[in-house]
Structure 1
Amino acid sequence: MRILVFTRTAGYRHASIPDGIRAFTALGEEHGFAVDATEEAGALARPLGGYGAVVFLSTSGEVLTPEARSGLMAYCAAGGGFMGVHAAACTEEGWPFFGGLLGAHFVRHPRLQPGTVVVEDADHPATRHLPGRWPVTDEWYDFDKSPRGAVRVLASADEASYEGGGMGRDHPLAWCHTHAGARVFYTALGHSPEVYADPDYRAHLLGGLQSVLRR
């Protein structure tokens, strides 16, 4: 089993990207999958059928060529697995297919600060190991809409636990769904380099990945 971790940025570039690649590589060594990490859009234009999942790790901006868009759509239609991490929600905002695939687009965040993640659905590999209220330091992304109703919400933000939240009571942070044939998982968490060494966060990533892997 191999996964493709795509990290191209055309906007803000997170310093945590190398840490994310190392985390996925370590998880692969522990759980029996290999990781190909790339910045090249051309990697998505080639046939992707050999990958169990495609992961957009803190990508940003318009990063795909028309050929790469076609390749990703074909991979999804063939039953592929797609996972978005953190700034993946800041990616391809002019492409409606990607917005539907991810479920929502980023619009803003307050300052980096501690807060509380509320686990809404503990019956999922990405959340079943977590406490009901999980303290995290992150950027607490606000989105252009709540995807609730179109996705299965796994965890949300308690806006009373930090300053500057802009979505109110309905603030999903991690979710999964099926779109255009693909199994999809997204988590808004993952800004800081140090979080990728946190065992709970790594288990969150692993569970999300396992839920979308092509069997």
Structure 2
Amino acid sequence: MNRFKALLLVIALQFIFLSASFAQKQFKVLLVTTTKGWHHESIHAGVLALQELGTRNFFDVVLMENPGGFTEDYLKQFQAVVFLNTTGDIFNAKEQQVMERFIKSGKGFVGIHSAADTEYDWPWYNKLVGRMFVIHPAVQTAKTKILDPTFPGLQGFQNDKLWTEEWYEYGPEKVSGLNYILGVDESSYDAKADWGDRAKGQGMGKMHPIAWYHEFDGGRAFYTGLGHVPTNFSEPAFLNHLYAGIFWAATGKK
């Protein structure tokens, strides 16, 4: 009898383990890393970090590996699409329509760093991101500023945290209603940039946002300008910041 009970216990534990293994995750996000311009060294570190973030927080991260696989049927399984250091014109007209319908259906978007250096000729996408990249100075250490402490995931940036980054200067707002949550103190670094005939930058002044979120066209969009330096993807402060944005974009919950 004791052996029989022991066998039943083993079977029960195996069943519990298998049930937990196959339990439905909180949500699923599609990770897009396509580049048609500059290829960031941090993409590899970012992919690994986001996959680990998914494991730790019980959500699925699927890397888009099929260039022609961005279809409406395929996207039905996802609650958000994440653009990790994408650059240039990465979608054709049909894929752009798929993305627009995805957001209009109530789903979410997360843009990381050079997602703001992507698809300049797609007006709808410009509004989705909120502001587009213009220029940046050399990578430098600067002080961050929390602009909205009510948004989660910013605890690691308290007390003017020093952060080393490629500080983007952004153009004007492409849409109203952007909620700014994190900025950079321009007095703590040299914001000037000179790319010759291509562009020149003087910074954005006292209000230099680097992360924001907004509701757009039926869905949600979160953007952060952090993520150029590969080692940033091992920083708990940044990972918490990313997860808060992904969680909000995928679920609508703050």
TM-score in terms of structure 2 length: 0.81
Structure having the higher strand fraction is 1
| Shift, 1:64, TM fit | 0.3
Whether the 8 Å contact between 1:8 and 1:40 is mirrored in structure 2 is no
The 2-side partners of 1:45 and 1:203 are apart by 30
The 1-side partners of 2:106 and 2:47 are apart by 24
- Aligned pair count? 215
The 1-side partners of 2:87 and 2:53 are apart by 24
SS in 2 for 1:190: coil
The 1-side partners of 2:230 and 2:42 are apart by 4
- Residue 211 of structure 2, aligned match among 169, 174, 182: 174
Q: Mean Cα displacement is larger for which, 34-43 or 63-72?
A: 34-43
Gaps of 5+ in 1: none
Whether the 8 Å contact between 1:41 and 1:68 is mirrored in structure 2 is no
Counterpart of 1:104 in structure 2 is 131
Kindly provide the CA deviation profile for residues 7-51 of structure 1, in whole angstroms up to 9, marking residues without a partner as x. Answer: 000010101001111111001101111111125443322331211
- Residue 113 of structure 1, aligned match among 127, 140, 148: 140
The 2-side partners of 1:212 and 1:110 are apart by 30
Indicate the percent of aligned positions where both proteins have the same amino acid. Answer: 33
Counterpart of 1:80 in structure 2 is 107
The 1-side partners of 2:135 and 2:223 are apart by 17
Counterpart of 1:66 in structure 2 is 93
Structure having the higher helix fraction is 2
Whether the 8 Å contact between 1:79 and 1:214 is mirrored in structure 2 is no
The structure having more radius of gyration, on CA atoms, is: 2
Distance change in 2, residues 1:198/1:148 (3 Å): farther
- Residue 42 of structure 1, aligned match among 68, 71, 80: 68
The 2-side partners of 1:126 and 1:55 are apart by 17
SS in 2 for 1:42: coil
- Residue 199 of structure 1, aligned match among 230, 236, 250: 236
Kindly provide the CA deviation profile for residues 165-203 of structure 1, in whole angstroms up to 9, marking residues without a partner as x. Answer: 511112110000011111111000000110000111111
Whether the 8 Å contact between 1:5 and 1:56 is mirrored in structure 2 is yes
- Cα-Cα RMSD: 1.6
Gaps of 5+ in 2: 1-26, 193-202
The 1-side partners of 2:173 and 2:39 are apart by 25
Distance change in 2, residues 1:129/1:211 (3 Å): farther
The one-letter code sitting in structure 2 at the alignment partner of 1:18 is H
